C-alpha cells in the first residue's frame, strides 16, 4: 500500500463545496421553520457531469497517461469529500509484449474506525480496444458506460457518506485492470483479484495472531458496472443469486428498489457475468453481488459514449444504493 500526495482541488468540486456550504447556512437559518435538514441526496445530473468529465480524459486503459490523470483527479476529489484515500499498487506482465505494467486500486474509506464494513466497488480502467466494433475494432474506446459509469456513481455517492449513521463503515474500491484484455485468453479482474488476495491474507494472519480477530471485516459487497445505459434494465446477476451468502444482499437491494418504485430494477435473474464480484466472493469470501445492465447495445464498441448514457439511469441506481446503505443495521 502507498499513500498518495495531496494536490489542489478540482475547480468544479470547489464550486460544489461552496454551494453545499451556502445551502448549509441557509438550512441553519431555516431551522426554526423546518424540523430537520434533509440529508444529501443523489443527483443524476451531477453523476452524469462526472461521467462526462471522466470521458473527456480519453481512453483510460491500465498504465496509460490518461489513467494516471484520472487517478490523480479521483484522489483529489474523494479527499476533498472527506474520504480516507489509499492506493494499492501492483504490477503485472503483459502476456504478449512481456512489458511490465503498473496498476493501482484506490480504496476510499468512510468512517474508518468502524470495524464492520460494506464494500462498494467499480472498475476504473477501460478496455484497450473496442474489439466488438464492426467498423473499427482497433479504434478508440471511451468506455462511458463500461468504465466511467461506476466511477461517476461512486463520486456522486461520496457527499452523502460522512452522514451515514449506524455501525457500518463504507469502503469504495476502484479496481484497476478489470479488462486489460488484448486477446481472448487474457485474464480479467486483475485489480480485484489482487485486492481479494491481500484481504484474504490479512484476515488469515489476523485470525492466527494474539488478537484473534481482524481490525476490520467486510460484511458484504456490491459491484456497480455499466449502470448508465439510457435504456436501463438491471436484472439480477446469476452468480450473485446462486451464492447462498450473497442472495440476501441481492434481495435487500431489489427490495429497496421496489419500495422506492425504481422500475429499472427487475427482480429476476438473467445473465451470468465474470465481473469483479467473482474474485471478491471466491477468494476473499466477501458476499458480493453485481449490479450491471448487460443488455447494452454498445458494449465494447466505439459507440460506448456519453450520448448513449443518461442522468436518469445513474440516478435510479444511485438512489437505491444510497437508501440501501442508509438501512444497514
Under rule CB under 5 A, how many of the chain's residues touch Zn ion? 2
Candidate segments 93-101, 144-152, 166-174, 235-243, binder of Zn ion by CB under 5 A:
144-152
Q: Which is nearer to Zn ion, 150 or 318 (CB)?
A: 150
158: which DSSP letter? G
Report 177-196 residues binding Zn ion (CB under 5 A): 179
Q: Which is nearer to Zn ion, 133 or 179 (CB)?
A: 179
Candidate segments 30-38, 171-179, 239-247, 278-286, binder of Zn ion by CB under 5 A:
171-179
Dist. CA 162–CA 235, nearest whole Å = 30
**326 Cβ partners below 8 Å, 6+ apart?**
39, 164, 165
Q: Quick check: 276 binds Zn ion (CB under 5 A)?
A: no
Residue 146 CB, nearest approach to Zn ion (Å): 4
SS3 307: helix
Residue 320 CB, nearest approach to Zn ion (Å): 22
Residues in the chain: 329
Which whole-number Å values give the CA distances from 314 to 28, 43, 122, 216, 291, in the listed order?
30, 8, 14, 30, 12
Residue 179 CB, nearest approach to Zn ion (Å): 5
C-alpha cell at 265: 430494477
Candidate residues 76, 109, 125, 146; the one interacting with Zn ion per rule CB under 5 A:
146
Distance spanning both ends of the chain, measured CA to CA: 30
Residue 222 CB, nearest approach to Zn ion (Å): 18
Residue 203 CB, nearest approach to Zn ion (Å): 29
Q: Which is nearer to Zn ion, 169 or 177 (CB)?
A: 177
Residue 62 CB, nearest approach to Zn ion (Å): 13
Which whole-number Å values give the CA distances from 69 to 49, 51, 143, in the listed order?
17, 15, 16
SS3 313: helix
Residues at the site binding Zn ion, with contacts judged by CB under 5 A: 146, 179
Amino acid at each position: 500500500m502507498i499513500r498518495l500526495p495531496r494536490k489542489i482541488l478540482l475547480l468544479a468540486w470547489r464550486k460544489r463545496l461552496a454551494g453545499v456550504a451556502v445551502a448549509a447556512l441557509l438550512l441553519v437559518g431555516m431551522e426554526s421553520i423546518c424540523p430537520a435538514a434533509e440529508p444529501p441526496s443523489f443527483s443524476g445530473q451531477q453523476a452524469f457531469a462526472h461521467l462526462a468529465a471522466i470521458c473527456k480524459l480519453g481512453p483510460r486503459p491500465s498504465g496509460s497517461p490518461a489513467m494516471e490523470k484520472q487517478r490523480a483527479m479521483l484522489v483529489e476529489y474523494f479527499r476533498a469529500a472527506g474520504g480516507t484515500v489509499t492506493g494499492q499498487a501492483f504490477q503485472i506482465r503483459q502476456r504478449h509484449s512481456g512489458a511490465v505494467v503498473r496498476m493501482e486500486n484506490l480504496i476510499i474509506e468512510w468512517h474508518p474506525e468502524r470495524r464492520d464494513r460494506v464494500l462498494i466497488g467499480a472498475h476504473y480502467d477501460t478496455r484497450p480496444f473496442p474489439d466488438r466494433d464492426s467498423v473499427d475494432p482497433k479504434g478508440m474506446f471511451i468506455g462511458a458506460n463500461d468504465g466511467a459509469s461506476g466511477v461517476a456513481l461512486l463520486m456522486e455517492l461520496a457527499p452523502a457518506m460522512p452522514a451515514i449513521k449506524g455501525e457500518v463503515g463504507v469502503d469504495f474500491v476502484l479496481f484497476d485492470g478489470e479488462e486489460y484484455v488484448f486477446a481472448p485468453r487474457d485474464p480479467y479482474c486483475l485489480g480485484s483479484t489482487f485486492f481479494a488476495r491481500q484481504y484474504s491474507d490479512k484476515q488469515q494472519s489476523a485470525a492466527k495472531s494474539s488478537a484473534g480477530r481482524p481490525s476490520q471485516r467486510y460484511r458484504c459487497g456490491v459491484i456497480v458496472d455499466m449502470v448508465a445505459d439510457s435504456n436501463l434494465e438491471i436484472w439480477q446477476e446469476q452468480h450473485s443469486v446462486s451464492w447462498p451468502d450473497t442472495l440476501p444482499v441481492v434481495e435487500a437491494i431489489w427490495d429497496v428498489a421496489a419500495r422506492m418504485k425504481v422500475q429499472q430494477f427487475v427482480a429476476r435473474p438473467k445473465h451470468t457475468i465474470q465481473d469483479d464480484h467473482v474474485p471478491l466472493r471466491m477468494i476473499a469470501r466477501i458476499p458480493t453481488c453485481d449490479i450491471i445492465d448487460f443488455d447494452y447495445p454498445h458494449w465494447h464498441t466505439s459507440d460506448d459514449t456519453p450520448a448513449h448514457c443518461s442522468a436518469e439511469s445513474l440516478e435510479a441506481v444511485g438512489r437505491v444504493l444510497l437508501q440501501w446503505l442508509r438501512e444497514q443495521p
